[in-house]
Amino acid sequence: MHFSLQGLVARVRKLKKVHRYLIVAWRQFTKMEFDHHTLPAQRTTCRRLATCALLLFCASIGSESYAAKCLFVASYHRGYEWNDGIERGVDNTLKGRCELYKFFMDTKRNKGVAFAERKALEAKAYIEKIEPDVVIAADDNASKYLVKPYFKDARLPFVFCGINWTAQPYGYPYSNATGIIEVAPIRPLLKAIRQIVDQPGRGVYLSADVLTERKDYQRYRESYAKKGIVLQGVFAKTMQAWREQYIAAQAQEIDFIVLNNNSGINDWDSREAVRIAQRYNHVLTVTNYDWMMQYAMFAMTKLPEEQGEWAAQVALAILDGEPAASIPIITNRRWNIFANPQLLEKANIQLPAHLMHKAIKVASTQEIKEAKL
């Protein structure tokens, strides 16, 4: 169990009431009159009482209630694959090291600004209630709606993770914050596409119609344009829209489709998406998310666990006395390679031998989960 000096000081203040009782008891003790016939017994009794009091006090200081408190604030909801991966990384790193509390803002399924602002206020109230020693803020909206408005340069230290591409929109760095930025392996994925498809010139980017996906698209578009590739962005709010746009993209004279993310399509039907991919699939489909591999042929994926593990390790360093501002902001450095042999075979597309050798072969949700264990 990890201990924080600042947390210990804060919690010791809560013993003031007990302290006052001890002072009153001591004053009453000093006013006691001792009979010389019973003085040795009285002294023995007092020593025992003092020893018990000291032991109880020490036990309370060393008990779990005085361990450091860590809070994990997630921008999204439990059950969203990316969010769950970050949470796993945090859990595995902090298990047995601090008291871990959690708050989920649920802003992926509820996209309105008013909802996000309300959840941020709830998170702020929760922070004030539990008085954590360090907070891990996952993904963009936790920084946008909670950290920046209410805790910029405050005393409470924060570690952010999962922020897409750059932390500049939120004014980082702060004197009380550091973190890890989430960067998709766009260039390595494009390099792989050019090894699979001869001289690709046009592609389609299909994703859920949410802010982070449009942000990702701009990065893809700019990066691919530098290599002479035109990338068209199409976005879906519903399962029906995604189905229509997928079929339309497959019918175009294009070289590849980026299936970036389905999160944000609230009526998503994975079985229907698998059927669509198997029936209409003939253009190369790629993705940066492992849970999209049921519908795509090839992927280079970010690891959400990396974000959570790094953030949790930094939180522990802060609890050990390291100032947050002294820890540099970094970007993720690892990714996995996946291939879906079933879809590749149906489309009569072959990966280069070196890519197929490196890739984790999957076709179903269960296989993807097992590959990550």
Q: Going residue by residue through the chain, which has 373 residues, state the pLDDT in tens, using 9 for 90 and above.
A: 544 444 444 444 444 434 444 444 444 544 555 455 555 555 555 555 555 555 545 544 444 445 799 999 999 999 888 899 999 999 999 999 999 999 999 998 888 999 999 999 999 999 999 999 999 999 999 999 999 999 999 999 999 999 988 999 999 999 999 999 998 889 999 999 999 999 999 999 999 998 888 988 999 999 999 999 999 999 999 999 999 999 999 999 999 999 999 988 989 999 999 999 999 999 999 999 888 999 999 999 888 999 999 999 999 999 999 999 999 999 998 889 999 999 999 999 999 999 999 999 987 555 555 555 4
pTM strictly above 0.85 = no
List the one residue out of 243, 282, 283, 281 whose CA is nearest residue 262: 243
Q: What is the CATH number of domain 186-302+335-372?
A: 3.40.50.2300
205 touches 232 (CB < 8 A): yes
120 touches 105 (CB < 8 A): yes
187: Cα separation from own chain's centroid:
23
Whole-angstrom distance, CA of residue 242 vs CA of residue 261 = 11
Q: Which residue reads 């007990």 in tokens?
A: 18
Here the contacts of 166-171 (C-beta below 8 Å, separation 24 or greater) are: 167/143, 167/329, 169/144, 170/140, 170/143, 170/144
